Chain A
Amino acid sequence: MAAHNVPIGPMGRQKYEVEIMSSEAIRNTFGTPETHFLNHEKGWKSWAFTLDHKRIGIMYLIGVTIALILAGVFALVLRTHLWSFDGTGPVKLTNAQYNQMFTLHGAIMVFAFIIPSVPAALGNIVLPMMLGAKDVAFPRMNLASFYLWIAGTGCLLFAILAGHGLDTGWTFYTPYSIETETGVIYATFGAFILGFSSIFTGLNFLVTVNTMRAKGQTWFKLPLFLWSLYATSIIQVLATPVLGITLLMLIAEKTMHIGIFDPKYGGDPVLFQHFFWFYSHPAVYIMILPAMGVISELISVYSQKKIFGYSFIAFSSIAIALLGFLVWGHHMFTSGQSQVVTLIFSAITFTVAIPSAVKVFNWLATLYKGSILLSTPMCFALSFIFLFGIGGLTGLFLGALSTDIHLHDTYFVVAHFHFVMVGGTLTALLGGVFHWWPKIFGRMYNDFLGRVSCFLVFTGFNLTFFPQFVMGARGMPRRYATYDPEFQIFHQYSTIGAFVLGIGIVMAYAVLVYAAFRGPRCGSNPFRAASLEWQSSSPPDFHNFTHKIAMCDPYDYDSQVYDEELDTYVHRELAQPSKPVEAEPQPAAN
C-alpha cells in the first residue's frame, strides 16, 4: 500500500500558509463579513444540494424543530385528554385515538427529533469548525443523511396519513405490532431509514474527528462537546444496525409470518424486546451524551474558567457509551427473562450512575471561582443540571430490582425518562442553540426574553413531570387512556405544566427566529469563548476559516482579548496584525 504516499501537485499538507492579516481582513473576519456561508450562494437549489455542513446543520435544525412541534402538539392533545379521569375532559379522544396520540408522540420525538437533534443539527454545524476543518469527511453522505431523515420522517407521517396511524407504542412490541392493522410497516420502515440516517451521521463524525483535525489539534485539545459527539457516534454506528435488522425482521414477520417473533408460529416475543433494547438503550445515550457535551461547553464559557477535570469528563463520555451497551436488560426486569440475567443487568445499571455523577460534580467544580454570566444559555445549562440531576437520581429507583418491579411501566418511568430526555436533552439543545446562534447568524438574541423562556421551560417542565413521580409510585400505569379518579389531580397539574412548557419552547424559538433576522449584529466571538469555531467570522465563511487558525486550548479564555473597535473578542495572535505568526501553530501553553 505504498503507492498512496506519492506526493502530487500542489496539494501538500502545507495548506495554511504563513500569513499576516491586514487590519481590513481582521475587520471583515471578526466584525461583519460581507460574504459568508449564508449568502455566498442563493436560491433553493444552493440549499437543497449543498454539501456545506453548516447549511445541512441548519436544515436539520429546521427539520427537527418541525418534528418537535408536531410531536409536541400530540403531547398537548393527549395531556388535555387526560385532564379528566374518565375521558370527559376538554379534548375527548376515543381509546384508539389516545393510543395513536401517545404512539406518534413517542415515535416522532424519539426517532425524528431527539436522536438527530443535538448531534445532527448542532453537531453538524459546530463539529468541523471545532476541529479547524473545512467540512466533515464525507459531505455527500452528510447530505444523504439529511435526505434519509426526510424520507424516514416522511414514512412516519405517511403511516399517520395513509396507514391508519400507528398504535403500538414507539417500542413496536410484538406480538401486538404484528396483529394491529395500523401502519406498522410504514412506521418501522421509517424508523429503519432514520436509523441509516443516524449511522451516516455517526460514521461521518467518527472519521472526521479521526482524520480531519487541523494541525496541532490533538485529542486532548478537543472541546468536550467533541468527545461526547465521538462517544455518541460510536453508539450510533454500533447499535443502530441491530435496530435495522430487528425492524426488517419485524416487517418480514408482519408480512410473511416468519415465526421468529410471533408466538403463533413458535416465535419468541421476548427476543424482540432484547433486540429492540439492545439498540434502544444505547439510543438513550445517543440522546443524552451530546447534551452533556453541550453543557460542558456552556458551563465553561459562561464561567470563563477552564473546565474542571477535562479528562474525567472526556473519559466518562466514553465509559457511558460502552456501559450503555451492557444494560439493555433493565428495560425487561418484569418481562420473564431469567432471574440471574436480571441480577447482572441491575448491577451493571448501577455502574452507569458513576460516570454521570462525575460529570455533574465536575460541572459544579467549574463554577467555583469563575466569572459566571447568567445569560440565556447558562440559565439553560443550570436548568439542565437541576433536571438531569432528578432524572439521573430517579434512575436509581429503577435500577434497584425490587423497586423497579413496583415502578416498571408506571408514570414513574414516564417521569424519569422525560426528566432525562426533555429536562436533559431538550434543555441542552435550546441552551446550545442560543449559545451558537450568534455564531451561525452573526446576530444577537434578546437575552432577557431568552431567560424568560428558560424560566417558562423550567417551571412548566417541573410542573408537568414532577407529579408523575407521585402518580407512578402510587401505581398509575402508563399508556392509560382512562384512569382511577384518585390520580386526576396530578394529571391536571401535569396538563397545566405541559402548556406552560409548550409556551416556553415556542417563546424560545420566537426569540431565536427574531434574532436571526432582526437581531443586532455581533462580532465573531461575543462570549469570549476559546474553542476554534469562535475564530471564524460570524456567520462563518463557506470554508469556515479564511485565515490561519491560532491553535489553542479550547478552555484557555485568557487567550482571547477584547477588541473595542470590533466589540468582540479575538485570539491574541490574530488580534495583532503587526506581529508575525509562526508557520507551525504552537500549542498554547497551559
Chain B
Amino acid sequence: MAVADSHDTAHDDHHDHGEFIAHHFDSPEQQFDSGKLGIWIFLVTEVLFFSGLFVAYTLWRNHHPEVFEQAHVFLDKILGGLNTVVLLFSSLTMALAVRSAQLGKNKQCSLYLLITMVCAAMFLGVKAVEYSHKWDMGIFVRSQFDYTGGHDTSGLFGLSPYLIQLCAIPALLLVGCLVAAVIGKLTNKALFGSFMIGMTITVAGFFLGAGSGVVYMSATGGGTGGSHASHVSETQPLMLHAMTASEDEDHDHGEEHAHDDHDHADDHSHEHADGESHEALDGDHHGDAHAMDHGPDPSKFDKDIGTFFSIYYCMTGLHAIHIIGGIIALAWLYWRSLAAHWRPDYFGPVDFVGLYWHLVDLIWIYLFPLLYLIE
C-alpha cells in the first residue's frame, strides 16, 4: 500500500552518496534526534562502566591512603601532563571538525579529524613509554609486583625491550598503511589513497609521542617520577609494613614469595627468548643498579603498592582501549569526510563520535589528577 513507497528506494547504505536516511525514519530530524539521544545514553553506560573502577579506587584509597601517597611518585607528572595537553588539544580539533561538518566543509573537517587522530596516537605513544618504563622497573600488577629499582635498557639502541614490543604493532601498521597509500595512488583510487596517507600520518603520530617520551626520559635520567620518589623516600620514611598488618595475610607470605620467584624466573626466560644481550642486565635486575638510572630504593617498598598499580593499569588500560576505539571511529569519519558525505542536514556521525571523544578526554581529565597528582 501507499505508505512505504518512496522510502523503499532510500535505503540506508551509508557509503552511498545522497540521502543518508534510514527507511524507518520519517525525517532527518527524527534520525538525528534518535542518534543524539542514543549516543548520550551510550555515554551514560560508558561513565557507569568506568564508575566500577572509580569506586574500587575510592575504596582502596580510603582504606590505604599510604599506598596511594607513596606509589604515585612512580608516575611521571610531566609525561602525564603532556598527554593531558595533547588530549585537550584533540578535543578542540574534534569540536572544530564537528563545526566544519555542520557547515558542510568536508575538506576542513577531514583535516581537523586527522589532527585529532594524530593527537590520539601521540597519547598512546607517550603511554607506551610510561608503561614500558614501569615494566622495566618490575612495577606490575599486585601479584607480579617486583620492584627492583633497576631500569632495563638492554633493547635496541638502549631502549627498553618492552617499549620495542609495544611499538611492534604500530610499526607494522605504519608500513602497511604506507604501502596501501602507495598502491592507492598508483592504481588511481584517490579516495583510498588519501585515506591511507591520513592513516600513515596518524600512526606516525604514535612514534612522535613515543619519541618525545624517550627523549624526555633520557634527558631527565628517568623522568621526574624517579627523582621525585628518591626525594620522598629520604624525607618520609615509608611505613608500609604497618599498613599491611591489618590485613591478616601473613600466612600467605611464604606461598607468595614462592610465586614471585617463579614469576621472576619467567621474566628472565622471557627476556632471553627475545634474543637480546643480557650480560649487563642480570646484574642490575637483581638490585645492583648503581650504574643505571633507577628509581627509589626498592627495599623501602612493600608489595601492596602493587594494588595501586593494579588499579592504575586497569583504569589507564581501559581508557587506552577507548582511545583505540575512538581512533577507529575517527578513521571511519575521516573516510566519509574525504568522500564528502557531510552536509548541513547530515552530519550526525561526526557529532556523535565527537561527543564520545569528549567523554574519553573527560575521563582522562579525571584520571590524571586522581592518579598522578596525589599529594
Contact = CB atoms under 8 A, between A and B. Distances in A.
Question: What class of interface size applies to chain B in its complex with A?
Answer: 35 or more
Contacts of B144: 256-257
A15 interface: yes
Contacts of B281: none
B278 interface: no
Given A133-B24, A244-B49, A260 B44 contact: no
A256 B306 CA distance: 12
Contact of A246 (B33, B52, B345, B347): B52
Contacts of A249: 52-53, 56, 314
A9 B49 CA distance: 41
Contact of B1 (A7, A25, A258): A25
B26 A257 contact: no
B52 A245 contact: yes
Interface string A263-284: 1111110010001000000000
Contacts of A206: 37, 41
B30 interface: yes
A252 B249 contact: no
Contacts of B313: 258
B344 A3 contact: yes
Contacts of B310: 252, 256, 258-260
B41 A271 contact: no
Given A137-B34, A211-B37, A238-B48, A13 B311 contact: no
Contacts of B314: 249, 252, 258, 260
Q: Which of B29, B42, B55, B59 has the most CB of A within 10 A?
A: B29
B4 interface: yes
Nearest to A136: B24
Interface in B21-79: 21-24, 26-30, 32-34, 37-38, 41-42, 44-46, 48-53, 55-56, 59-60
Contact of B306 (A133, A199, A259): A259
B297 to A, nearest CB: 22
Given A256-B143, A265-B143, A138 B38 contact: yes
B38 A203 contact: yes
Dominant SS among interface residues on chain B = helix
B264 interface: no
A10 B33 CA distance: 19
Nearest to A210: B37
A237 interface: yes
Interface string A128-157: 000001111111000000000000000000
A244 B142 CA distance: 22
B102 interface: yes
Interface stretch (A81-89, A218-226, A542-550): A542-550
B28 A547 contact: no
Q: Which of B48, B51, B144, B314 has the most CB of A within 10 A?
A: B48
B375 interface: no
B366 to A, nearest CB: 15
Given A5-B29, A237-B41, A546-B4, A264 B256 contact: yes
B45 A241 contact: yes
B223 to A, nearest CB: 24
20 contacts: A3-B102, A3-B344, A4-B348, A6-B345, A12-B26, A13-B27, A19-B2, A139-B22, A207-B38, A208-B34, A212-B34, A241-B45, A248-B318, A260-B307, A260-B310, A263-B249, A265-B306, A266-B247, A546-B1, A546-B2
Interface of B: 1-4, 6-7, 10, 19, 21-24, 26-30, 32-34, 37-38, 41-42, 44-46, 48-53, 55-56, 59-60, 102-103, 141-144, 244, 247, 249, 252, 255-256, 304, 306-307, 310-311, 313-314, 318, 344-345, 347-348
Given A203-B42, A238-B44, A260-B307, 8 more contacts: A3-B102, A6-B344, A7-B345, A29-B1, A237-B44, A241-B52, A264-B255, A543-B23
Of all A-B residue pairs in the complex, the 6 with the closest CB atoms, nearest first, are A259-B142, A257-B143, A245-B52, A258-B310, A546-B1, A135-B24
